[in-house]
Amino acid sequence: MGTTATKYTVPKYEIPIQTSAFNADIVVNTAGSIVYVSNTSKESATAYAAPSGDVLWTQSVPEARRMAMGEGGALVYVAGHMAVYALDASTGETVRTLPVHMPISCVAYHSGSVFVGRSDLEIDTDRVVVLHADTGDAKTSFAPYGDGSGQLRSCTAMNITSDGKHIVVAMSSIGQALSVFTTEGAFVKRLAPGFSRGGQLDFCFAPNGILVIADADAGRVMILHKDGSGLYNTCGDLLQDEESAPIAVCHAAEGLWVLQRHACKINVF
């Protein structure tokens, strides 16, 4: 491990939220003044003022799961039941619904395209589907694994790299971890070694080539740095107890935001 590893150890502040979050996500606006929280069990998305935690709005979203901020922060995209819901970031109003016709778990957005990852391992086609953000029309789709095995896996999170050329996919299966694809679906490489067990993973990009991974089952946030070959090595972690296991992470407004599973709060580092 490097001696200069970035570590997030002491929160700058905490934001209280209304409910515990077993299967949930957070995204944050550019200014860091609003944090959006989805919750599958409550079937809703809620906007909280930061740092007060005041509720700005709540919108019903069937089976609400992962989220993504739209271009310019005007919309919040929420992966829901068989569809992606585009919500007005200021009011929570549903602006449009993009039908997907398959169980989905995660969503990403870049430059007019919405990337959707499916979640149900009982279905015998495992795809990431790319949609036109305005119309919901399908652009393309691809299988989110690169080892040629064809084994079914479930996407738990996706993010687009800052240059818009690659999509990084987190898989729930043991040993799969994170993989990089072009936005057209061509496999590029593994971004991180596999974890010892499958489970719910979330991740985000931070400045200076840092990758942050929340492993809810292991109860920790891992801080990963690039080495000379372009791979990632673990350089530090933020340990959590089981009750406050990290369920989602987001880097915004020069801070790391960590949603905790049962603690009813978001820590901002």
Segment holding 35, helix H or strand E: strand 34-39
What the block records as the tokens of 219 is 């109860």
Q: How many residues does the chain have?
A: 269
Tell which wins on pLDDT, 152 or 161.
161
Question: Which positions ≥6 away from 168 have C-beta within 8 Å?
Answer: 158, 159, 160, 161, 178, 179, 180, 181, 191, 203
Name the β-bridge partners of 257. Answer: 250, 268
In a domain, 25, yes or no: yes
In a domain, 4, yes or no: no
Q: What share of the chain is helix, strand, coil (3-state, %, to 5)?
A: 0, 50, 45
Reference 95, options 56, 140, 61, 64; nearest CA is: 61
In a domain, 5, yes or no: no
In a domain, 6, yes or no: no
Which range among 64-68, 173-177, 214-218 shows the weakest confidence by mean pLDDT?
173-177
Residues 150, 144 contacting (CB under 8 angstroms): no
Tell which wins on pLDDT, 124 or 74.
74
Number of domains observed in the structure of the chain: 1
Can you give the pLDDT at residue 214?
83
What domain range includes position 261? 13-268
Name the β-bridge partners of 60. Answer: 44
The CATH number given to whatever domain includes residue 231 is: 2.130.10.10
Q: What is the mean pLDDT of residues 222-243?
A: 61
In a domain, 96, yes or no: yes
How confident is the model over 84-105, as pLDDT tens digits?
A: 999 999 999 999 999 988 888 8
Tell which wins on pLDDT, 178 or 191.
178
In a domain, 126, yes or no: yes
In a domain, 1, yes or no: no
SS3 84: strand
The pLDDT-based confidence of 72 (bands split at 50, 70, 90) is: confident
How confident is the model over 110-153, as pLDDT tens digits?
A: 999 999 987 655 554 567 889 999 999 988 888 766 554 444 45
Question: Which positions ≥6 away from 169 have C-beta within 8 Å?
Answer: 117, 128, 144, 155, 157, 158, 178, 179, 181
Torsion sign, CA atoms 19, 21, 23, 28: positive
- Please give the single-letter amino acid code of residue 202: D
* pLDDT at residue 238 tops 70: no
Can you give the pLDDT at residue 10?
79
In a domain, 2, yes or no: no
Residue with tokens 């990089």: 180
What pTM does this model have?
A: 0.87
Tell which wins on pLDDT, 133 or 154.
133
Give how far Cα 133 sits from Cα of 16, 70, 150, 180, Å. Answer: 32, 9, 29, 22
| Distance from C-alpha of 246 to C-alpha of 11, rounded to nearest angstrom | 14
For residue 161, how many C-alpha atoms fall within 13 Å in the half-sphere facing its CB? 15
